Homo-oligomer: A and B are copies of this chain.
Amino acid sequence: MEKMMDIENQRFVTNSYHCWLQYRKIENANQYSDIPSSIGVAGNTAIIDSAARELQYALKSMLDVDSTVQPYTSNESSIVLGTYESVNLNNYGISPKLFDDLNEEGYLLKTTEDNRQVLLIGKTDRGALYAAFHFLRILQQEESLLGLEIVEAPKNQLRMMNQWDNMNGSIERGYSGKSIFFNGNDFSKDVTRIKDYARLLSSVGVNAISINNVNVWDVETKLLTEEFLPKVKEVANILRSYGITTYLSINYASPIELGNLPTADPLDKEVGKWWARKAEEIYSYIPDFGGFVVKADSEGRPGPFTYGRGHVEGANVLARALQPFNGKVVWRCFVYNCLQDWRDRKTDRARAAYDNFKPLDGRFLDNVILQIKNGPMDFQVREPISPLVGAMKETNQVVEFQIAQEYTGQQKDVCYLVPQWKEVLDFDTYSDGEGSTVKSIVDGSRYNYSHSGIAAVSNIGNDINWTGNTLAQANLYGFGRLTWNPDLSTETITNEWIQFTFGSDPTVAGAVEDILLQSWRTYENYTAPLGVGWMVNPDHHYGPNVEGYEYSKWGTYHFADRDGIGVDRTIETGTGYAGQYFGSNAERYNSLEDCPDELLLFFHHVPYSHKLHSGVTVIQHIYNTHFQGVEEVETFIKSWNELEGKVENWVFENVKERLQLQLENAKEWRDRINTYFYRKSGIADEKNRTIY
């Protein structure tokens, strides 16, 4: 119960600590007057225990009910919590067959016919935990419990969070304070926040996490050693009790740095043996260890290429070591011939992932999963979908999102990414004919992948509200819900989050919903136009810098001159990138006429006078959207300010302050972008607005 008390105490600072698990008091609780107050627990696992405690805590919080937790008996338990094998299904007229079709994490959530019992029955204990959270969502939405009969299971097998946390406490691309896992080159002593993070993740269905940065430095390399494995084990224990499997990001040079071998060549016999022994050691601490996340041969990280080997050899040596323990290798495809020369217009970073990996299809071991960023570049506000998704029919794939708003406002600016992710998931790759959507690929159904799913870079830190901007909590929530069920609509997810966070005042809900749903488009409006990307300040990636990456070594160019702008990625005259897509996608992107406006400059170099489908010229579109973007932020501020007194004051001030920063940022973007293109094109704004 200490944990609960901690949470209670933190409420005095701000409820936003609890995110969507505030379990706000239900004012009119009549419909729940029969509310079950005896929780009957079938099964004795840490996960079932977590579920029971969560129920107990939430019922007290929402309904002021002091519930008891007891071993399950068919009739006395008013909430039945357990696995289908430990509950007497016959009693409730449930056929065990129902569970045969469910995957391991599925569940039945059912009210008995007399409406006096709620059954939360999982295929496994994890299913039961998810059922409990589902039940609590129903209560939080104040929906009726009468006649419920819900059968649910997650669509995606792997629903993974990637922490980019370093052991010195910093977070690469972290915008919400320091790491909750590490500080001072060690694990954090206080695990309260790890446990609460596990609750948050579990409540939205996340079932895997890699706890350290994909860039693995000196200290982090030692996470695989006896110095730190006991502590990894402690954290894994906490996470496991919420159904979350622990992974580690590894240093590919570990055999050298930890094993004193002369090489980390994946084909070297001793290296293979070293990894096998290392896996054995890790599993002796953590029997259900998830496996390794690897960023190799990218941005200067060591990898198999250091030894003249390829990705297949590189990943498979690790996979062989993990195979006996059912461990997995998550191999990131953020890999390209790092250094480009801006003078060279033939080489194209966008092509790299496909060019590098597509030829390797079918050669990876079955416990290797390729993790592919949603776009071919790097989490820009607007990119096409990576053509590698769906292109490898015999290779497990996971798509990677970035919840951390590296290029999308860094949790100063509001940018709700669920609409973006929905677009990605619903995108038809045509890789297996019409209907080959990204979601049908990553849920494993299209190509019968043995492992697949969705991963994302986390946006949390030790800020009291976890995400810097409180509204950024919606991205974490939405990511989890989408990975559980990519068919959920943006509106459903958004409204759930708003209700759990702000309650059901329609004024508040309406204003927050409007801001969230508009915010991605707004961010796009005032930043880099028409899919061209990269007009940001180098390194930290916040704020405008039109030529910030124009002459860089990173393959990130827009080629703006006095006449036009954009990257020719067509098959005929450009880099040929458009040809990496299947069928009509290739045709559409390759065609100047058919290419969607929003990606025009990603695929084509056009004159400023080029007319968009929208009817305006490219240059006028740039001016219009940039003025509009700022106006939209001003509207956000106006709407938000009207919520004073209607939302908790701490949250009100937090978002208000961030919106002010966003306005300054948006104005700087507007003025710099407009000035840059006016200076370059010499074409005046039709509406004669101020351009400097």
- Chain A residues within 8 Å of B, Cβ to Cβ: 342-343, 544-547, 551, 560-563, 671-672, 675-676, 678-682, 692
Q: Is the CB of A682 within 8 A of B563?
A: yes
Measured CB to CB, the nearest residue on chain B to A342 is: B692
* A678 contact set on B, CB distance < 8 A: 561
A623 to chain B, nearest CB (A): 16
* A672 contact set on B, CB distance < 8 A: 551
| Pairs A-B, 10 closest by C-beta atoms | A561-B679, A343-B692, A562-B562, A547-B547, A562-B682, A551-B672, A562-B680, A343-B671, A680-B680, A562-B679
- 7 A/B residue pairs, CB under 8 Å, sorted by A: A343-B675, A545-B547, A547-B547, A547-B676, A551-B675, A561-B682, A563-B682
Q: Is the CB of B561 within 8 A of A680?
A: yes
* A680 contact set on B, CB distance < 8 A: 561-562, 679-680
Compute how far the CA of A563 lies from the CA of B560 in the bound complex, rounded to whole angstroms.
16
A388 to chain B, nearest CB (A): 30
Compute how far the CA of A563 lies from the CA of B544 in the bound complex, rounded to whole angstroms.
23
A616 to chain B, nearest CB (A): 21
Compute how far the CA of A544 lies from the CA of B551 in the bound complex, rounded to whole angstroms.
9
A665 to chain B, nearest CB (A): 13
* A671 contact set on B, CB distance < 8 A: 343
A197 to chain B, nearest CB (A): 35
Compute how far the CA of A678 lies from the CA of B560 in the bound complex, rounded to whole angstroms.
11
A307 to chain B, nearest CB (A): 28
Compute how far the CA of A563 lies from the CA of B551 in the bound complex, rounded to whole angstroms.
22
Measured CB to CB, the nearest residue on chain B to A690 is: B343
Compute how far the CA of A681 lies from the CA of B343 in the bound complex, rounded to whole angstroms.
18
A607 to chain B, nearest CB (A): 12
The residue among A546, A551, A671 with the most chain B CB atoms within 10 A of its own CB is A551
* A561 contact set on B, CB distance < 8 A: 678-680, 682
Q: Is the CB of B692 within 8 A of A562?
A: no
Measured CB to CB, the nearest residue on chain B to A668 is: B551
Compute how far the CA of A342 lies from the CA of B545 in the bound complex, rounded to whole angstroms.
13
* A551 contact set on B, CB distance < 8 A: 544-545, 672, 675
Given the known interface contacts A342-B692, A671-B343, A692-B342, the answer about A679 and B547 at a Cβ–Cβ threshold of 8 Å is no
A522 to chain B, nearest CB (A): 22
* A545 contact set on B, CB distance < 8 A: 547, 551
Given the known interface contacts A342-B692, A692-B343, the answer about A679 and B560 at a Cβ–Cβ threshold of 8 Å is yes
* A560 contact set on B, CB distance < 8 A: 679
Compute how far the CA of A678 lies from the CA of B562 in the bound complex, rounded to whole angstroms.
9
* A546 contact set on B, CB distance < 8 A: 547
Q: Which of B562, B675, B692 touches A681 (beta carbons < 8 Å)?
A: B562
Measured CB to CB, the nearest residue on chain B to A671 is: B343
Compute how far the CA of A676 lies from the CA of B680 in the bound complex, rounded to whole angstroms.
11
* A563 contact set on B, CB distance < 8 A: 682
A174 to chain B, nearest CB (A): 22
* A681 contact set on B, CB distance < 8 A: 562
Compute how far the CA of A342 lies from the CA of B543 in the bound complex, rounded to whole angstroms.
15
Knowing that A544-B551, A563-B682 are A-B contacts, what are 19 other residue pairs whose CB atoms are under 8 Å apart, sorted by A's residue number? A342-B692, A343-B671, A343-B675, A343-B692, A545-B551, A547-B676, A551-B672, A551-B675, A560-B679, A561-B678, A561-B679, A561-B680, A561-B682, A562-B679, A562-B680, A562-B681, A562-B682, A679-B680, A680-B680
Compute how far the CA of A675 lies from the CA of B675 in the bound complex, rounded to whole angstroms.
20
A73 to chain B, nearest CB (A): 67
A669 to chain B, nearest CB (A): 11
Compute how far the CA of A134 lies from the CA of B309 in the bound complex, rounded to whole angstroms.
65
A570 to chain B, nearest CB (A): 20
A661 to chain B, nearest CB (A): 16
Compute how far the CA of A678 lies from the CA of B681 in the bound complex, rounded to whole angstroms.
13
Compute how far the CA of A41 lies from the CA of B676 in the bound complex, rounded to whole angstroms.
71
* A675 contact set on B, CB distance < 8 A: 343, 551
The residue among A343, A544, A546, A675 with the most chain B CB atoms within 10 A of its own CB is A343
Compute how far the CA of A561 lies from the CA of B545 in the bound complex, rounded to whole angstroms.
16
Compute how far the CA of A17 lies from the CA of B224 in the bound complex, rounded to whole angstroms.
46
Compute how far the CA of A163 lies from the CA of B645 in the bound complex, rounded to whole angstroms.
56
Compute how far the CA of A680 lies from the CA of B562 in the bound complex, rounded to whole angstroms.
5
Measured CB to CB, the nearest residue on chain B to A681 is: B562
Compute how far the CA of A404 lies from the CA of B650 in the bound complex, rounded to whole angstroms.
50
Compute how far the CA of A561 lies from the CA of B683 in the bound complex, rounded to whole angstroms.
12
Compute how far the CA of A2 lies from the CA of B563 in the bound complex, rounded to whole angstroms.
70
A354 to chain B, nearest CB (A): 26
Compute how far the CA of A560 lies from the CA of B342 in the bound complex, rounded to whole angstroms.
21
Compute how far the CA of A671 lies from the CA of B341 in the bound complex, rounded to whole angstroms.
11
A535 to chain B, nearest CB (A): 11
The residue among A562, A671, A682 with the most chain B CB atoms within 10 A of its own CB is A562
Compute how far the CA of A260 lies from the CA of B590 in the bound complex, rounded to whole angstroms.
70
Measured CB to CB, the nearest residue on chain B to A561 is: B679
Compute how far the CA of A682 lies from the CA of B675 in the bound complex, rounded to whole angstroms.
18
